[in-house]
A and B are shown apart, each in its own frame.
Chain A
Amino acid sequence: MASENANPYKTVDATPVKSFFVHMLTRDIRLEDAILDLLDNCVDGILRPKGAVQRPRGLHPYNGFWAEIKFDGTSFSIADNCGGIPWDLHKYAFRMGRDPSRPPDEPGTVGVYGIGMKRAIFKLGTECLITTKNGDDAYEVDVPAGWMQNETDWSFPAMPAKRPMKHDGTTIVVGALHPWISERFHEETEEFGARLERMIATHYAAIINKGFEVSVNKVSVKPRPIKLLFTENARKKKQTDGIKPFMFRTKTDGVEVFLAVGFTRPIPSLDEVENEQSEKRYSSEDAGWTIVCNDRVVVYCDRTELTGWGEANVPRYHTQFIAISGIVEFSGEASKLPTTTTKRDVDASSALYLQVKNKMREGMRIFTDYTNKWKTRADESKKQMVAGTPLSFEEIKVQATKLDFTASKTSVPPGGQYKPVLPVPKKLESHNRRISFVKTKEEVQTVGEHLLGEADADPSTVGEACFDAFLKEAR
């Protein structure tokens, strides 16, 4: 054994290898999500200079702010007027990972790990120019050709901006796109553009509704918020609240939680469920749970166990439940939110999320139960639904202030909830009997044409007409 003085094993090298950041971290994220990371930075930029007490409030706090995304086979760019990167922040903003000495961010931001912008750039290409202006600071940072191959150089050259921007903001231009990215942008321009537009329209619906403007290849993105049906107070007349969402709110450790689950549209009839499955439509897309962290969607319309489907007493998702949708929002300090490093997923092991998930299941049960009770009488159910107004999440929160919330005794952390009493079908009278049978489409069309003069008549109408005709004859 070597003596202490002659120890040849003094240290081992643990410095990071660049390819880990450039090639490995980028595998954990989809291209669309990497671009949304850049958009997150734009919004964080709006929140940054306003100070801790000035989180944007009011109906349109993001009015006047915009981000423009452009891509083609040779380059990708994102430009914004969201405040730019103050020179004081340069020692944090461009590092790989978050420096623990960095001052805490303002509420409402979502950046936690200090990796989003760099990861997105490396995902896209090998050269980049970042131009930014914040007040008197106007500079550009270059990721030059060959930087990613140089294992010893961990700095990016910075210099005064050659073409200073007119407004406070940042422009990121990525050139030398990876060949597979370039091919995708070139050969799938329309498909990728539509996919990105859809993701921004759904994931940024709340922020765009609050005034933020986003464009993709010069086409402005219109928000597509999920809306839940809400009928006015029906309880005065009947022993039901009509169709309203289940709502729950709580606050714990600086994080505010609000959830609402309900119906987006009338429940489908059994025939519609069957058609839906045979037609292979994608119209289930707005069914399921959406999880929002500081206005940004991290999970969109999930229909798996991640959000409670198929767990405890909640049935597995089925086309029958196509009308059920829920939104749960977490707001507060970014590091306490139940999201992952990609910010496009929920941390399923987060204690906060697991507690809230109990309430998500509780709410969902009310609507799966309603669907099961009414599925054979979808037409009657539809009449209850058409009286409802589709309300966005923000509008539901406003309505919530007018409703009587009761203390939720079972929830941890404690909170308040609104549990609607949904309509219940009157029991079938004892002398009524339900008849159902299956016939081929062609046979139904033939009988429909023969009896009603309508080949495309609803199968249940054709069946009923048959029965009525024979009943008349029998009597």
Chain B
Amino acid sequence: MKAPPYHLRPNKAVDRLTLIDAIRRVARADELRRYTYYGMGGPYLEDFRLIYELFPEIKLVCIEKDPDVFKRQRFHLPCRTHRLRLEKTQLSSFLANYEARNEKGIFWLDYTKLTFAQIAEYMELLGKVGANSLIKITLRCNPPDYQEKEPSQQQTKLDAFNRKFEALLPSPLSALPIQLKNFANLIQDMLRISAQKALPSVAPLTFLPISSFFYADTTGMFTLTGIVCRKEDLAKFRRLFRTWQFANLDWKPPAEINLPNLSTKERLHLQRHLPRRKSAGKILRRSLGYLIDKTESETELQLQQYADFHRYFPYFIKAVP
């Protein structure tokens, strides 16, 4: 099945907006004009557009190796190029030459696959960025990629996975997770070990996770955001993010983003009852007066998702040209 266009993926759109939230919190600790946003942009530069519109003081650098996507990015520039620099290069080459100097970075390593090389790039980046940099990594987290009907083929896939990621696994897997949630846990554990390898205890800087999510706009994805900071600043950043709704400062299991399909009319109706600290799912279900999934509890779970993320839920409007 063809995946929905990059800029029309509701769960990813929510994830993108949580990054915006995180940048807002970091801005309380540091001046944003000192920051540069590095991303991979995709053909439409959606994340760059958002950051430019909300934080015009942040400098922008987009890294893209594909010549045609690069041309398409030039077409979709959200602002003049003195604010947004397009770099036609591979991320690995970019990282090899990257020097933080006094600059602070906001990096989004927005991958679509799960390979050792990508995690190695993430580790390289952690070891290079300046203090107070924000790092977000997104990786494919799709259990069906590793499921085979034949037991022998399944074993081959398991062996290959264990061999490929041996250096990052807490211990070798006896089976690959079938559920998206468990696969996301596994990738988070691998990234935790990677961060500890990249910034060992003797280093003056450390990595503080601030949020982690998994979602599926058809394909399962996992995303982790964290801050590289001086150890003495850990408490300060913990305080900054402690009250954030999505904070995951202690490597707890990642949260799910799984937005329900609701009409604009339904959303506006439900939003009148929000925000709500407790029992949002139940209250919204009663307010609707009908089920949007098979059972009451499944409906409530979906509406709870809406309650959690409603402020970030994009409106995709049909327009007639």
Q: Which residues of A contact B (CB under 8 A)?
A: 180, 183-184, 186-194, 197-198, 201, 219, 221-222, 224, 278-283, 285-286, 442
Contacts and interface: CB of A to CB of B under 8 A. Distances in A.
Contact of A279 (B116, B170, B193, B201): B116
A184 B203 CA distance: 11
B271 interface: no
B201 to A, nearest CB: 4
A71 B319 CA distance: 61
A180 B202 contact: yes
7 closest A-B pairs (Cβ-Cβ)? A191-B196, A183-B201, A187-B201, A283-B163, A188-B196, A282-B167, A184-B201
Contact of A194 (B115, B120, B163, B170): B170
Interface of B is mostly: helix
B197 to A, nearest CB: 6
Contacts of A188: 196, 200-201
Nearest to A182: B201
Given A188-B200, A280-B117, A280-B120, A194 B171 contact: yes
Most A CB within 10 A of own CB, among B66, B196, B200, B202: B196
A180 B117 CA distance: 30
Contact of B166 (A190, A193, A278, A285): A285
A188 B195 CA distance: 9
Contacts of A286: 163
A280 B168 CA distance: 13
A303 to B, nearest CB: 16
A283 B197 CA distance: 17
Given A184-B202, A190-B170, A219-B171, 16 more contacts: A183-B201, A184-B201, A187-B196, A187-B206, A188-B200, A189-B196, A193-B170, A197-B170, A201-B172, A222-B171, A224-B172, A281-B163, A282-B116, A282-B167, A283-B164, A285-B166
Contacts of B296: none
Nearest to B65: A442
A197 B193 CA distance: 13
Contacts of B115: 279
A224 B120 CA distance: 24
B197 A191 contact: yes
Contact of A283 (B120, B166, B189, B201): B166
27 contacts: A180-B202, A183-B201, A184-B200, A184-B201, A184-B202, A186-B201, A187-B200, A188-B201, A189-B196, A190-B170, A190-B196, A191-B193, A191-B196, A191-B200, A194-B171, A194-B193, A197-B170, A201-B171, A221-B171, A222-B171, A222-B172, A279-B117, A280-B120, A281-B117, A282-B116, A285-B166, A442-B66
B228 to A, nearest CB: 14
Nearest to B192: A190
Nearest to A221: B171
B167 A190 contact: no
Interface string B205-229: 0100000000000000000000000
Contacts, number: 65
Contacts of B201: 180, 183-184, 186-188
B55 to A, nearest CB: 32
B42 to A, nearest CB: 17
Contacts of A201: 171-172
A421 to B, nearest CB: 28
Nearest to A191: B196
Contacts of A191: 192-193, 196-197, 200
Interface in B115-161: 115-117, 120
B169 interface: yes
A434 B202 CA distance: 54
A197 B171 contact: yes
Contacts of A219: 171
Contacts of A283: 163-164, 166
Nearest to A185: B201
A278 B117 contact: yes
A123 B170 CA distance: 24
B116 A281 contact: yes
A188 B202 CA distance: 10
Contacts of A184: 200-202
Contacts of B164: 281, 283
B171 A190 contact: no
A470 B90 CA distance: 35
A173 to B, nearest CB: 22
A279 B113 CA distance: 13
B202 A282 contact: no
Nearest to B159: A265
A225 B306 CA distance: 50
A217 to B, nearest CB: 11
Nearest to B169: A194
A286 B164 CA distance: 12
Contacts of A186: 201
A122 B189 CA distance: 32
